[in-house]
């Protein structure tokens, strides 16, 4: 594999695990303020991010590449309002989308079709992740200012369950 592509995939493993940590910290915030459904939603989001990191880890190993695990940064955001983690999540997903696109561009430049095909799933997934983040903000704007609305939204988010990504390497 091209060294630049391999290095970018290695960095992306770290970004996915950082994403897991960031979302776990959002779950941490929502648990503290008593919104257990929002906390559940972000705990599951954290599990998804770990799964994304593991897919990249396995893909590199399957291609006989060296995996280097770097330190995961501390999530350092302080949230004051219920909608702040939601807005941060959308902005973070846009950052991840850019990052995946950068790897795709590097793979395309060296005609690494295998990595491009691997990344196809992530490109689609980023579309879904941004949509989910956007939808949550919209729902919060519509219902979050009313206690009953917030309770129902929290109950809806409590129902989310983790399903492992259906991607075969
Ligand atoms: Fe792994 Fe939220 O993208």
Ligand 1 atom closest to the Cα of residue 129 is 2
Residues comprising the chain, all counted: 169
**Looking at residue 119, what is its pLDDT?**
98
Closest CA to 157 of 36, 29, 21: 36
pLDDT tens, N- to C-terminus, the chain (169 residues): 999 999 999 999 999 999 999 999 999 999 999 999 999 999 999 999 999 999 999 999 999 999 999 999 999 999 999 999 999 999 999 999 999 999 999 999 999 999 999 999 999 999 999 999 999 999 999 999 999 999 999 999 999 999 998 887 7
| Closest atom of ligand 1 relative to the 53 alpha carbon | 1
- Report residues whose beta carbon is within 6 angstroms of any ligand 1 atom: 16, 19, 49, 52, 93, 96, 129
pLDDT of residue 14: 98
Ligand 1 centroid, distance to 90 Cα (angstroms): 11
Q: Where are the alpha helices (DSSP H) in 79-146?
A: 84-109, 113-143
CA of 146 to the centre of ligand 1 (A): 30
> Is the overall model pTM greater than 0.85, yes or no?
yes
Q: Tell me, in angstroms, the distance from the centre of ligand 1 to residue 88's CA.
A: 13
CB-CB neighbours of 161 under 10 Å:
7
Q: Report which ligand 1 atom has the smallest distance to the Cα of 45.
A: 2
The predicted pLDDT at position 72 comes to 97
Can you give the pLDDT at residue 50? 97
In order of 37, 51, 117, 142, the CA distances from 161 in angstroms are 11, 14, 28, 24
Ligand 1 midpoint to CA 26 (Å): 15
Q: How high is the pLDDT of residue 71? A: 97
Give the C-alpha distances (Å, rounded to integers) separating 35 from 76, 133, 153, 167.
Answer: 20, 17, 10, 32
Q: What distance in angstroms lies between residue 130's CA and the mean position of ligand 1's atoms?
A: 9
Closest approach atom of ligand 1 to CA 96: 3
- Torsion over CA: 20, 21, 23, 24 (sign): positive
Q: Check if the beta carbon of residue 144 is closer than 8 Å to that of residue 30.
A: no
């Amino acid at each position: 594999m091209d060294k630049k592509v391999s290095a970018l995939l290695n960095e992306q493993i770290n970004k996915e695990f950082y994403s897991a940590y960031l979302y776990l910290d959002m779950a941490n915030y929502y648990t503290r303020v008593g919104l257990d459904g929002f906390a559940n939603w972000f705990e599951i989001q954290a599990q998804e991010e770990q799964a994304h990191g593991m897919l990249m880890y396995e893909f590199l190993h399957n291609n006989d590449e060296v995996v280097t695990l770097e330190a995961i940064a501390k999530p350092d955001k302080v949230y004051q309002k219920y909608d702040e983690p939601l807005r941060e999540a959308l902005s973070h997903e846009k950052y991840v989308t850019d990052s995946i696109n950068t790897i795709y561009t590097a793979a395309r430049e060296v005609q690494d079709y295998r990595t491009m095909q691997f990344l196809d799933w992530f490109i689609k997934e980023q579309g879904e992740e941004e949509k989910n983040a956007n939808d949550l903000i919209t729902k919060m704007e519509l219902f979050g200012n009313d206690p009953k609305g917030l309770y129902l939204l929290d109950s809806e988010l409590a129902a989310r369950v983790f399903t492992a990504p259906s991607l075969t390497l």
